[in-house]
Amino acid sequence: MSKDLEKIAKERGIKYFLISFTDLFGTQRSKLVPAEAINAMAKTGAGFAGFATWLDMSPADSDMFVIPDPDSLIQLPWKKDVGWFAGNPWMDGKEVEHAPRNILRKQIAAAAEQGLQMKSGVECEFFLISPNGDCISDPGDLQSKPCYDQTALMRRYDVISEICDSMLELGWKPYQNDHEDANGQFEMNWEYDEALKTADRHSFFKYMTKSIAEKHGLRATFMPKPFPNLTGNGCHVHVSLWEGNKNVFEDPKGELGVSKLGYHFLAGILANAEALTAITNPTVNSYKRINGTVTLSGATWSPNTITYTGNNRTHMVRIPEEGRFEFRLADGAANPYLLQAGVLAAGLDGIAHSRDPGKRLDINMYTHGHLVEGAKKLPLNLLDALRALEASPLYEKAFGTEFVNAYVKLRTDNWHEFMRHLSKWEVETTLDC
């Protein structure tokens, strides 16, 4: 039985609902719907012109209707008369194949056919900066190694505590907040859950963090590398696979407590990493984090090579404890839905082909990575990553040709736009060549 959303609105004091979807570039698009109209919208969907967003459509296309998922309802803690829904885009009576939330739902269904469910948690890093974006917001945050700096953290207590209080109120079970490795940078952690719920919360978290920062006269950015001399914004993903109530990645007899199936899944991530990078690191700026030089703190904390390890943060994938692994490649620009879908599709491919990740490396990749023979480097730029995605048989099959063509087309346009820009560095270094 469908939920009576108008009744729920009256019970909770909600006057308006945001019916939201996330486009290919990770931008949230919404219609603000009065509570009196929400039951009708739940059936027919809120209407959008898809071409007006970052979806591969034209002005001649039919209306796109976004059907709200009633299970995704979040009442805004800082504006309680508004509710938020994640929605699924439809057009001409069928789901839009290249819409990110639909892509993830398709991968979840593929896993479910095998009796499997991916659970994940994300570590979202962000900077609190000035409203115009030209500097960090705290002029006293100057340490060369500011990670976990108590004083700098507490100077932003009002913002961080309000975000954490909101997560507590929403039942997300947040468990720690810290000042991160860069000046002005923070990270907040909440409990892992099944992949779609994590993606919805990730998407909402970015909106919530930006909104609360604005309340305090600040600006929050998840940009991968907003400052060239500081560590960039990562979005690490902690992954496990479940069969009912059993974590099938966990095996006390396995190496580092990980099962054979878990290593197959991990091997799928490694085997498809070049194409996956186009999804997990989707902007021109992303590659200034992956391929960045040593930062003020002494390390980029970002992988640049396709390797895995135990509890060692210099690799693309690490296994910090039994039963799960941490995928460290993704950055703050990653689309919350495509991020989960990309990881799940690669992992299922690893299981399907019984892929072998090879021997793990326990060396410091930042200092001794050049000594590793045969380890593949991650793409140097967005164009290389997009070419890998376009050539990937996995993602064409898992996500569909429509998605790959749309995503590559729109992101390649991004690349061309970047190439039309003349930087100050180019002028300074080549004007007199």
- On whether the CB atoms of residues 184 and 213 are closer than 8 A, the answer is no
Do the domain assignments include residue 279?
yes
> Tokens representing 430?
């080549």
Same domain, 287 and 358: yes
- On whether the CB atoms of residues 121 and 357 are closer than 8 A, the answer is no
Same domain, 225 and 302: yes
Rounded to an integer, what distance in angstroms lies between the CA atom of residue 302 and that of residue 316?
8
Same domain, 18 and 56: yes
Same domain, 130 and 240: yes
Same domain, 74 and 198: no
Do the domain assignments include residue 407?
yes
Query: Which residues does 327 contact at the CB level (< 8 Å), separation at least 6?
Result: 236, 237, 238, 239, 269, 316, 317, 343
Candidates 64, 79, 74; CA nearest to 23 is: 64
Check which CATH number belongs to the domain holding 138 and give it: 3.30.590.10
Q: What is the pLDDT of residue 297?
A: 84
Same domain, 33 and 128: no
Same domain, 69 and 117: no
Check which CATH number belongs to the domain holding 56 and give it: 3.10.20.70
Task: Say how many domains are in the chain.
Answer: 2
Rounded to an integer, what distance in angstroms lies between the CA atom of residue 5 and that of residue 11?
10
Do the domain assignments include residue 171?
yes
Q: Could you give the 3-state DSSP secondary structure of residue 324?
A: strand
Three-state SS letters, 351-381: HHCCCCCCCCCCCCHHHHHHHCCCCCECCCC
Rounded to an integer, what distance in angstroms lies between the CA atom of residue 262 and that of residue 36?
48
What domain range includes position 166? 107-427
Dihedral, 179, 185, 190, 196 alpha carbons, nearest 10 = -170
Do the domain assignments include residue 5?
no
CA angle, 250 as apex, 261 and 316 as ends, to 5°?
70
Same domain, 213 and 87: no
Same domain, 190 and 83: no
Same domain, 88 and 125: no
Do the domain assignments include residue 256?
yes
CB atoms within 10 A of CB 320: 14
Same domain, 147 and 89: no
Q: Could you give the 3-state DSSP secondary structure of residue 239?
A: strand
Q: What is the pLDDT of residue 2?
A: 65
Please give the chain's pLDDT, 433 residues, in tens: 368 999 999 999 999 999 999 999 999 999 999 999 999 999 999 999 999 999 999 999 999 999 999 999 999 999 999 999 999 999 999 999 999 999 999 999 999 999 999 999 999 999 999 999 999 999 999 999 999 999 999 999 999 999 999 999 999 999 999 999 999 999 999 999 999 999 999 999 999 999 999 999 999 999 999 999 999 999 999 999 999 999 999 999 999 999 999 999 999 999 999 999 999 999 999 999 998 888 888 889 999 999 999 999 999 999 999 999 999 999 999 999 999 999 999 999 999 999 999 999 999 999 998 889 989 999 999 999 999 999 999 999 999 999 999 999 999 999 999 999 999 999 999 999 9
Model confidence, pTM: 0.97
Do the domain assignments include residue 54?
yes
Q: Is the dihedral of CA 101, 106, 111, 113 positive or negative?
A: positive
Same domain, 81 and 122: no
Output phi, psi for 38, to 5 deg: -70, -35
